[in-house]
Every structure is written in structure tokens, then in C-alpha cells.
Structure 1
């Protein structure tokens, strides 16, 4: 069997579009899941059981069911009653999935912040809400940085699952090119290298953020 990467070169502009779509989806999902995870964690920890127990149940459901099943449920299940664009399903599905994991991380890191800091802040005149958002959450975010970074690296790879509902990210566009050129091995090798490079760059960025977070502590 001879390798021929010339079709990869021909369709490389198509792969570039897929890379752009993957990174854009990843950025939106990262922002949504980190901010949403903080909000869910705060509501879970600082509200009554009648409010936080449904949230705990949702976290448990998202963490114990496969991502692909969640996407199918949103796209084909809820889609029977509400017409939802595939890209919206993909972003929301990934966002909620990783929001649950990030919320679980934030719950642990918020609990790890000394209760004495909460009491000291209140004694200085900060309100309950101000203490949470200006004193507790920043420290919880710094402590959660390594785990959040790992989650985001996994999330970028999970974007490939969105090809199952027709979203034109890197894997989906690669499959289109393969259907035209009949050179699957060359394209799969290429996208594997691309994902590897993205992971390396993200790990470098994560290390930089962790050093900054450690410095600010």
C-alpha cells in the first residue's frame, strides 16, 4: 500500500475551516461551562435543598450518561417538538456536559477555601453575595485551574463527537474529503497530528495559566 498525501494538500483549506470551527466551538463551550459551572456550584452550596437538589441531580445525570446520548436526546428527542439548529445543540450539549463536571470541581474548591476568610470578609462589611464573588470564587478558580485545564483539553477532543449530528467541524469535514478522495488513512493521520498539535498548545497555555495562578495566590 502506497501513501499519497496529495489529496490532503488539495483539501487542506477544507481542513482549515474545520480547525476554525472546532476552536470557535471550543472557546464558546469553555466560557459557557466555566462561568456556568461557577454559578451552579454557588447555587448548589448556598441555597436551600429545594433549589440545590434538582441541580445536584442534573450534575449527576450529565456526569453518568454518555455525551453522544445527551446530544441525540437534544437533537432527535427534544427536536421532535422544538426545531433546534445542530450547531446550537452541539454547543449547548457540550456546554451543559462540561458545566456539570466543572461545577463538581468548583464545589470541591469552594469548600476548600477557609471558612475564616468568609467570616473575616463579613466582619469588614462585605455582604454575603460580595464575599462569595469577590473573596471565595476567585480563590476557588485559582485552585481549580489544573482540573479545569484538563477538562478543556478533553472537551476539545470531544468536539469530534458533534460530527454525529452533522456539525461541520474537523472530523466531519475530513470525512467529506475522504468520501471524495477515498484516502482515509492519510486524512486520519493528518487530523490526528492536528489534534496532537492543538493539545500541545493547550497544555502550554494551561501551564502558563497555572504559573500565573500560583503567583497570584
Structure 2
């Protein structure tokens, strides 16, 4: 068996477009899932059970069902009601999936901040909101950095699942090239190397961020 990487060069613009879409989805989902996860965690901890229990059910639902099933449910379920682009469904599906995991992380890190700091802040005249946003959440965010970084790395790899609903990310773009060139192994090798490079860069960024925040933990 011989390898011929010339088709990869031919369809390199298609792969680059797929990389761009993968990274775009990754950035949007990262912002959505981190901000949403923090919001869900705060509401879940600091509100009454009538509100917090449904949120905990949301976390449990997305953490205990497969991502692909969630995407199919959103894609075909929403498709019965409204016309919605596959990329929007993919962003929502990945966003809600990782929002649940991030919320679970934030719940743990918020609770890891000692109650004494909250009480000391209130005794100095800070209100609940000021204490939360100036004392509790900054520490919780810093403590969550390692786990959040790992989640975001996994999330970028999980963008490949979106090819199942027709999102033109990297894997979907390569499938088109493979169907024309009939050189699957060459494209799979290149795609694996691209994901490896992305993961290495993200791990380096995470390590740098952890070093910058280590003294504040």
C-alpha cells in the first residue's frame, strides 16, 4: 500500500475552510458554555429549590445522555418547528452539553471558597451581589481554570461530531474530499495531525494561564 498526499494538497483550501469553521464554532461554544455554566451554577446555589432543582435536572440530563443523541434531538426536533441552520443547532447542542459540565465545575469551585470570606465581606458592609462578584466568583473562576481548560480541549475535538448533522467543519470537509479523491487514509492522517496541533496549542495556552493564576488560588 502506497500513500499519495497530492489529493490533500489539491483540497487544502477545503480543509482550511473546515479548520476555520471548527475554530469559529469552538470559540463561540467556549464563550457560551463558560458564561452559561457560571450563570447556571450561581442560580443553582443562591436561589430557592423551585428554581435550582430544574437547573440541576438540566445539568443531569445533558451529562447523562450522549452528545450525538442531543444533537439529533435538537436538529430533528427543532426542525419540525422552525427552520434552523445546522451550524446553529451544532453550536446550541455543544454549548448546552458543555454548559452542563462547566456548571458542575463552577458549583464545586464556588462552594470551595470558604464561608468565612463571605461572612467577612458582609460584615464590612458589602452586599450579597458585591460579595459574590468581587470576592467569591473571581476565586471560583481561577480555581476552575484547569478543569475548564480540559473541557474546552475536549469540546474542540467534539466539534467533529457535528459532521453527523451536516455542519461543514473539518471532518465534514474531509469527507467530501475523500468521496472525490478516494484517498481516505491520507486525509485521516492529516486531519489527526491538525487536531493534534490544535490540542497542543490549547494545552500550551492552558498551562500559561494556570501559571499566571497559580499564585491567586
Q: What pairs with 1:34-113 in structure 2 (closer than 5 Å)?
A: 34-113=34-113
Shift, 1:86, TM fit:
0.8
TM-score computed with the length of structure 2 as normaliser: 0.98
Structure 2 residue 193 is matched with structure 1 residue 193: yes
Q: Which residue of the partner structure matches residue 140 of structure 1? A: 140
Unaligned runs of 5+ in 1: none
SS in 2 for 1:167: coil
Shift, 1:213, TM fit:
1.1
**Where does structure 1 differ by over 3 angstroms across 4 or more consecutive aligned residues?**
none
Q: Map Cα deviations across residues 153-202 of structure 1 (whole Å, 9 max, x no partner).
A: 00000000000111110000000000110000000000000000000000
SS in 2 for 1:125: coil
Q: Which residue of the partner structure matches residue 152 of structure 2? A: 152
Q: Which residue of the partner structure matches residue 169 of structure 2? A: 169
Distance 2:20 2:57 in 1: 35
Q: Which residue of the partner structure matches residue 124 of structure 1? A: 124
SS in 2 for 1:116: helix
Distance 1:126 1:93 in 2: 38
Unaligned runs of 5+ in 2: none
Distance 1:83 1:132 in 2: 40
Shift, 1:216, TM fit:
3.4
Q: Which residue of the partner structure matches residue 8 of structure 1? A: 8
Q: Map Cα deviations across residues 39-94 of structure 1 (whole Å, 9 max, x no partner).
A: 00000000000000000001000000000000000000221112221111000110
RMSD across aligned C-alpha pairs, in angstroms? 0.8
TM-score computed with the length of structure 1 as normaliser: 0.98
Number of aligned positions between the proteins: 217
Distance 1:215 1:17 in 2: 40
Q: Map Cα deviations across residues 87-137 of structure 1 (whole Å, 9 max, x no partner).
A: 110001100000000000000000000111101111122111111111101
